[in-house]
Amino acid sequence: MKIEREKVPHLLKLIWQRRSIRRFSEQPVDREAILLCLEAARWAPSAENVQPWRFLVIDDPPIKQKFAEAVFSGIYFPSRFAQQAPVLILVLAELDILANRIGKQIQGVAYYLLDIGMAGEHLVLQAEELGLSTCWIGWFNLKKARKFFAIPRKYKIISLLALGYAAKRPPRSPQKRSLSEIAWFNEMGKSCPEISDFELNFHPDDSLQAKAKSNGQEKIND
Ligand SMILES: Cc1cc2nc3c(=O)[nH]c(=O)nc-3n(C[C@H](O)[C@H](O)[C@H](O)COP(=O)(O)O)c2cc1C
């Protein structure tokens, strides 16, 4: 199956371009851009349409500084890089919604996590389209985060998102599993003949490098 590079859909190009960014410039992010990202999150699908996501945006520099000192201390020090990002977003789930509890009990699936992952990724991709960069951060002190903002127990803290303009981008695509490893057709473990051609034609490295260059960003190793 021959797929022409010019026909790569815009969304797929954005998805290829997105990387977890761990070096941010000091350039602030205006509220309008933040709101566009949150608006993208708001339109995510969710089980029973319960929309369990809540976002606590931290864009006031002194508050962000104090928060970062609290949540990235001790064993969480490796996440300190996120302090440079002009915006941190605490991603919360509101748990006192019946549908979430039933889903977990009957199906054994915590659908709210799925919902929140989707909303978060909408946010991330909208940010990418606006020329912003992001990094999901799970490694931070949850107890201190709760205490810092006096977050009531009915909200579960799921993750943090760092948001800002990239100062440096990693030089290479991250190692991603191949399509044939992750996708099967009509039978467990069964590939389809089009996959190998598809993979040969669709390697995103060149476009990523070109994009990084055109942004004038330095390249770094992760
Ligand atoms: C739920 C979640 C939590 C993550 N937590 C961290 C983290 O605490 N620190 C970090 O540097 N990266 C974190 N990451 C980023 C991953 O390391 C990254 O997505 C992965 O290495 C693939 O790289 P890519 O995002 O550039 O494709 C997290 C990603 C996700 C989805």
Per-residue pLDDT of the chain (222 residues; tens, 9 = 90+): 556 667 889 999 999 999 999 999 999 999 999 999 999 999 999 998 999 999 999 999 999 999 999 999 999 999 999 999 999 999 999 986 676 777 778 888 889 999 999 999 999 999 999 999 999 999 999 999 999 999 999 999 999 999 999 999 988 888 999 999 999 999 999 999 888 878 777 666 544 444 444 544 443 333
Q: Is 174 in the pocket of ligand 1 (CB under 6 A)?
A: yes
Instruction: Supply the pLDDT for residue 89.
Output: 98
* Domain boundaries defined on the chain: 1-18+170-216, 20-168
Instruction: Supply the pLDDT for residue 97.
Output: 67
Per DSSP (E only), the strands in 59-165 are 87-94, 133-137, 155-164
Instruction: Supply the pLDDT for residue 205.
Output: 57
Q: How far apart are CA 127 and CA 166, in angstroms?
A: 11
Q: Which atom of ligand 1 is nearest to the CA of 19?
A: 26
Identify the CATH homologous superfamily for domain 20-168: NADH Oxidase (3.40.109.10)
Instruction: Supply the pLDDT for residue 204.
Output: 62
Q: Is 159 in the pocket of ligand 1 (CB under 6 A)?
A: yes
Rg of the chain over Cα atoms, rounded to whole angstroms, equals: 19
Instruction: Supply the pLDDT for residue 203.
Output: 63
Widest distance between CA atoms in the chain = 56
Q: Is 162 in the pocket of ligand 1 (CB under 6 A)?
A: no
Q: How far apart are CA 56 and CA 156, in angstroms?
A: 12
Mutational pocket test of ligand 1: of 135, 161, 208, 222, the residue with most ligand atoms within 8 Å of the beta carbon? 135
Q: Is 81 in the pocket of ligand 1 (CB under 6 A)?
A: no
* 3-state DSSP assignment of residue 51: coil
Q: Which atom of ligand 1 is nearest to the CA of 139?
A: 8
